[in-house]
A and B are shown apart, each in its own frame.
Chain A
Amino acid sequence: MNKKNGTRFSYFPGCSLATTAKENEQSLQYVFKKFGIELKELEDWNCCGSSSAHSINSDLASKLISRNLSLAPQGIPLMVACPNCLLRLSQENLHLKNDEKARERFIRNWGKPPDTELEIIHFFDLFERMDVSRKIKTLSEKPAGLKVAPYYGCMLARPPEMRHEKNYYGLMEKILSSMGAEPVKWGHYAQCCGSYLSAVRPDAITSKVDAIIQDAVDAGADCLVTACAMCHLNLEIRCSLKHPIPILHFSELLSMALGAKKRLGGWFSKHLINPRPLLRSKGLYE
């Protein structure tokens, strides 16, 4: 597709995409390659600390994140693949902007002042900037007729200090519609997937996850699509419904529309709920 812009972004994949959600990472890379966007992985990035660090050790959480911020090259927007990492990184950056003591600590730790003007974005922002929905309308291999329940999880909810920042609600629906897919209206689109409670309280989270997926089924969805690799994992491993519907990464569906046919098999083999029969029945997979 268009190679003219070749825009550069630094890229923070996060632990999930680097390990358990390789199919998410690979399909995301596929999409950006197709759009001529060059991603440069943040050199030697570390875990953002996830929920565990800020729960039991705020100081450590702040250090783990600020190391990543200190590694980001100046003047190049930092694109983050995981909504949880994104929240941690942008919250810390906001904190550094507003708190002089935090800035002093940053300088002490990393030997340079923080770049508080650093633009930290989710890949959804990129899709919006590139006007993906308009570009996709011209494509041929659209997943037309596929009924999709777009699942945002907690990525729509942010701390009060960030409530005036841009919200992503509606973006998946917009892009899905432009693909010819049908986003269904349903109630559980922003229900939290359970995060680490999935590991600690499997039974409790199973009933929550079942309720989420059942709601999508009742709304007539053929599949769910997630924006977050952890949501994807929790929905897949905790679903105990007799007839579950497939859970796709949003990046996989987008890749399908962009012609990733030959790659799909490798990605789908990592799914616990096999999406192939559904896609075959819709003529979207051989």
Chain B
Amino acid sequence: MGNQISSDIIHINRCDNSFRDQIVELSGENAGLCFHCGSCANGCPFRDLMDYSPNGVLRMIQLGLRPSALECSTIWVCVGCNTCAVQCPMAIHIPAIMDSLCQIALAEGVKVAEPDILNFHQEFLNSVERYGRSHKLEIMLRYKIKKKNWFEDLAVGLKMLRKRKLHLLPSRVKNLFELKNMFRIKKQGVRL
């Protein structure tokens, strides 16, 4: 276990509940309900790619360990498949909590544990901003350029092009003005 959890003593009588309350405000979900049965951690198909288990992250929220929760990889690796949400006996929508944590991390400029995942999300949304729809070829090309990893997936990319699964031109929305507007307003708010 990393940082605060092992190196510092956590004074539970001095726990800061404001972090938990902020998450309730943003996601509508109360991490305080979790009693750590571990169902989410057992069911999560991507637990092995995360540094902390999903309920580990909920524990950090309960204890007010803000930096640990915002800097962990778990919040980014979670794809929101809802497997945990179905299994949680307290009916906590855990993926919504992960989303809120990612967004707080971005708003506060916290060091992102999974820059590649953030890079992908940004390229995806850039594509939606440009065309109103996702253009997979361009998303992947821009993603790989930013990652400076040209050759990863080159073979499968070419195969998809040959099979005409990747289109050279995007499918577009006609009213792009409306689309761009949504993005413009947003950019003034949370830093993307």
Which residue numbers of A lie inside 8 Å of B, CB to CB? Answer: 15, 18-22, 44-47, 49-60, 63-64, 67, 153-154, 156-161, 163, 190-192, 194-197, 199-202, 204, 208, 233, 237, 269-272
Contacts and interface: CB of A to CB of B under 8 A. Distances in A.
B46 A52 contact: no
B24 interface: no
A21 B163 CA distance: 11
B153 A202 contact: yes
B186 A59 contact: yes
A276 to B, nearest CB: 14
B82 A158 contact: yes
Give the interface size bracket for B toward A. 35 or more
Contact of B182 (A54, A63, A208, A237): A63
A237 B157 CA distance: 9
A56 B93 contact: no
B66 interface: no
A57 B103 contact: yes
22 contacts: A15-B171, A49-B128, A50-B124, A54-B80, A55-B121, A56-B99, A57-B103, A57-B192, A67-B182, A154-B81, A157-B81, A158-B82, A159-B82, A159-B93, A160-B91, A160-B93, A194-B45, A195-B81, A199-B120, A208-B45, A270-B163, A272-B165
A21 B95 CA distance: 27
B74 to A, nearest CB: 13
A204 B73 CA distance: 15
Given A20-B166, A52-B121, A53-B128, A44 B80 contact: no
A269 B122 CA distance: 32
A196 B120 contact: yes
Given A52-B124, A57-B192, A158-B86, A19 B152 contact: no
A158 B133 CA distance: 24
A118 B26 CA distance: 26
A71 B106 CA distance: 31
Nearest to B182: A63
Given A20-B136, A55-B102, A60-B182, 12 more contacts: A15-B171, A49-B125, A52-B120, A52-B122, A57-B192, A64-B182, A157-B81, A159-B93, A196-B117, A196-B120, A196-B121, A269-B163
A192 B83 contact: yes
Contact of A160 (B80, B92, B117, B133): B92
Interface stretch (B3-11, B57-65, B172-180): B172-180
B49 interface: yes
A159 B179 CA distance: 27
Given A47-B128, A50-B124, A158-B86, A57 B186 contact: yes
Nearest to A109: B182
A56 B121 contact: yes
A190 B87 CA distance: 13
Given A49-B128, A160-B88, A15 B163 contact: no
Contact of A55 (B45, B80, B175, B189): B80
In the A-B complex, the 10 residue pairs with the closest CB atoms: A192-B81, A160-B91, A157-B82, A154-B81, A52-B124, A52-B121, A195-B79, A46-B132, A15-B134, A63-B182
A197 B46 contact: yes
Contact of B174 (A44, A50, A197): A44
Given A47-B128, A192-B83, A15 B133 contact: yes
B113 interface: no
A63 B134 CA distance: 16
B82 A53 contact: no
Contacts of A47: 128, 132-134
Contacts of B165: 20-21, 233, 270, 272
A234 to B, nearest CB: 11
A160 B85 contact: yes
A55 B133 contact: no
Nearest to B176: A46
A51 B132 CA distance: 15
Contacts of A56: 99, 102-103, 106, 118, 121-122, 125, 192
B174 A194 contact: no
Contacts of A59: 186, 189-190
Contacts of B117: 196-197, 200
A74 B153 CA distance: 44
